[in-house]
Amino acid sequence: MENLKEILKKEKYKSVRFKISSTQHLFVRAKINGVWGDFILDTGASNSCIDFSHIEMFGITASESKTKATGAGANGLFTQVSFKNHLQLGRWHQKDFNFVLLDLSHVNAALTEYKTKNVHGIIGSDVLLLGEAIIDYKARVLYIK
**Looking at the predicted structure, is the pLDDT value of residue 76 above 70?**
no
CATH class belonging to 4-144: mainly beta
Please list, in sequence order, all residues whose beta carbon lies within 8 angstroms of the beta carbon of residue 73, skipping any fewer than 6 positions away: 106, 107, 110
Beta-bridge mates of residue 53: none
**Looking at the predicted structure, is the pLDDT value of residue 132 above 90?**
yes
Whether the CB-CB separation of 138 and 60 falls below 8 Å is answered with no
Q: What Å distances lie between residue 76 and 7, 44, 68, 81, 110, CA to CA?
A: 43, 17, 5, 15, 19
Over residues 59-74, the pLDDT tens digits come to 999 988 766 555 545 5
Over residues 13-26, the pLDDT tens digits come to 999 999 999 999 99
The residue ranges of every structural domain in the chain are 4-144
Tell me how crowded residue 27 is: count the other CB atoms within 10 A of its CB: 18
- pTM summary value: 0.90
Over residues 87-102, the pLDDT tens digits come to 999 999 999 999 999 9
